[in-house]
Amino acid sequence: MEVPTPAPAPRRVLGWVPATGIVLGAIIGVGIFLTPGKVAQAAGSPEQAMLLWGLGGLIAMAGALSMAEIGARFPTSGGEMVALHQMVGRLPAFLYGWSLLTAIQTGVLVIISLFAASNLGLLLGQDWGPNATAAAATAMILGLAAINLSGVRNGATVQTLTSLIKLVLLAAVALLGVWALFQQGGEFGSAAGAAAGAGAGAGTPSGVPDRSGTDGDASPWWVAGLAATLFSYGGFHQLTWVGGEVRDPQRTLPKAIVLGVALVITAYLAANFAWFALLPFDQVVHSKSLAADAVGAWWPGWGTKVVAFALCISAFGIANSQLLTSPRVYYALAREGLFPKKLAQLSLHSGVPRAAILLQALLAIVLLWLAGGDRMDQLVSGVVFVDWTFHILVIAALFRLRREQPHSPFLTPWWPWTPLIFILGGIVGLGATFFDPAVRISSAIGVAWMALGAVVYFVLNQRRLRADPPPL
C-alpha cells in the first residue's frame, strides 16, 4: 500500500533580523515623504507638528505591543487574521480578507508600483508616458512575484535590504538637516519663523490657514493631523501574517514588532526635524515634492536624483511587502475554509503559498491596466478606514481572551492602558477622517465595499448557513 505524501508545511526560516526588516518595510513607504506637509498644516507650527508625530508614534507603539501579544498567541500563517476569526468570528475575518485582496493590498501594489516606475523614469532622466510607466510597473510586480515564489527567505532578504537602505537615506537627510540648522544659527524653527509675516498669528506662518478655534482650543484639524500620522505608522501588524515562517515565533515576533516600530518612530521624527530645518515652514506645508525641495535647496543638482532613488527604493520595498505578507493571509483564510481551497496549497519546492502569490500579482496587474492608479487610490483610501477598524477590533478582543486564557508567551506590558491607548487613538484617528470631505467620501466607499463583501460572503456560504445557522 502506497503511503500518501504528507502535505508541506510553512518553513520556519526567518530570524529576528529579517522579521524586523519586514516590519520596517511594511511601515516606511512613501508616506514620510508626502504626509508631513498635511500634518504641518494641521498643526500650525514645527513644534506642534513634531508633537503630533511623537503622539502618533506613542499610539503606534501601544498598538505594536498589543499586536505583539496577538502574534505570540497565534504564531501561525495569517496571525492577526486567524486571531480575528477565532476571537470575533467568520464574517469579520472574511470581510477583512476580502478588503485586503480586492482593495487594500492589491490597490497599494498597483499605486506603489506605478509610483516606483515614475520615479525610476525620473532617476534615469526619462519622461515616460502612461503606457511605458504601466509596463515598467508590471515588470516590477512580475519580478517581485518571481523572487517571492522562489522562497520566503529570498523575499525577506529583499525586504531587509530595502528597509536598511531606507533607514540610511532617512539618516542622511536628518544629518543634512543638522548641518543646515548650524548654517542658520543653530535655532530650530528659525526658517519657519523667518517665513511668518507680520500679520500672522502666533505660531501661524503666512499663507498657512489658522487652525485654532475661536475659543483658543485646538480645532478638529489638529486631530486630523494626528490621523495622518497614524496611517503613516500603519503596517506593523503584517509581520504576524508570516508568523508561520518565523523561527521561535513566540519570542521573535514580539521582539521584531517592538524593535521595528521603535526604529520607525526614530526615523520619522528625524525626517520631520530635517524637513523643518531645510525649508521654511510654509514651504513644507505647500510643497508638492517635499523631499526633492528640501534636499534640493541645500544640495542642488544631485539632490533630486537622490530623492528619486529614495522614493523608488521605498516604493519597491512596500510593493515587495505586499507580495511577501498578504498571500499568507489568503493561505490562512483558505485553511480556515473562508477562501477557495486552492489557495491553501504550498509549493513542494519552495514551501510558499504559490497560488496565493500568483493571485495577488495577477490581480494587481489586471487592475493596474484596467483601473489605473487614480481609481484604485480612491478605493484604497476608503477601505483603509475599514482596515484600521479591524485592527481596533482584534486588539479589543484581547480583553476577553485575557480573561479566558490569562497566560501567554508574551503579555502586553502596562495592561490595560497600552491597548486602551491604541483603541482610543485609533477611534479618534478614524473619526477625524470625517472632517475632510474628500476622505469622508472615500470612507463611505469603504463601508459600501464591506457591504458588498458581506453579500459575497452570504452567497458563497448559503449551504453552510442553512445547515448551521448563526446564533441570534
Report how far residue 268's alpha carbon sits from residue 36's, in angstroms, rounded to the nearest whole number: 10
Q: Does residue 8 fall inside a structural domain?
A: no
**CA–CA separation, 243 and 238 (whole Å):** 9
Is 472 within a domain? no
C-beta neighbour count of 56 within 10 angstroms: 24
The reported pLDDT for the residue numbered 220 is 60
Would 334 be classed as within a structural domain?
A: yes
The answer to whether the bond into 416 is cis (omega within 30° of 0) is: yes
Count Cβ atoms below 10 Å from residue 298 Cβ, excluding itself.
Answer: 15
To the nearest whole number, what is the mean pLDDT of the chain? 85
Predicted local distance difference test score (pLDDT) of residue 471:
47
What pLDDT score was predicted for residue 211?
Answer: 47
- Domain count for the chain: 1
Instruction: Answer whether residue 11 is part of any domain.
Output: no
Whether 28 maps to a domain, the answer reads yes
Per-residue tens of pLDDT for the chain, all 472 residues: 444 455 678 889 999 999 999 999 999 987 888 789 889 988 888 999 999 999 999 999 999 999 999 999 999 999 999 999 999 999 999 999 999 999 889 988 998 999 889 888 888 877 788 889 999 999 999 999 999 999 999 999 999 999 999 999 899 889 988 888 887 765 555 554 333 333 333 333 334 344 434 334 444 667 778 888 988 898 999 999 999 999 999 999 999 999 999 999 999 999 999 999 888 888 888 888 888 888 877 777 777 778 888 888 888 999 999 999 999 999 999 999 999 999 999 999 999 999 999 999 999 999 999 877 666 666 666 667 778 889 999 999 999 999 999 999 999 999 999 999 999 999 888 877 776 676 677 777 788 888 999 999 998 877 655 555 554 4
Q: Which three cell numbers stand for residue 136?
A: 515598467
**Alpha carbon distance 159, 26 (integer Å):** 9
Give the separation between CA 335 and CA 426, rounded to whole angstroms.
30
Among residues 25, 13, 15, the alpha carbon closest in space to that of 263 is found at 25
| Cα–Cα distance measured from residue 302 to residue 381, given in angstroms and rounded to the nearest whole number | 33
> Which residue range is the domain that position 112 belongs to?
16-194+201-462
Alpha helices by DSSP H, 184-248: 190-195, 220-233, 238-241
On whether residue 9 sits in a domain, the answer given is: no
Query: Is the CB of residue 157 less than 8 Å from the CB of residue 13?
Result: no
Phi-psi region of 353 (alpha: psi -120 to 50; beta: other; left: phi over 0): beta
- H-assigned helices in 234-248: 238-241
d(CA 451, CA 138): 31
CATH number assigned to the domain comprising residue 177: 1.20.1740.10
Q: Write down the pLDDT at residue 214.
A: 36
Whether 211 is in a domain gets the answer: yes
Q: How many C-beta atoms lie closer than 10 Å to residue 409's C-beta?
A: 15
- Tell whether 160 is covered by a domain: yes
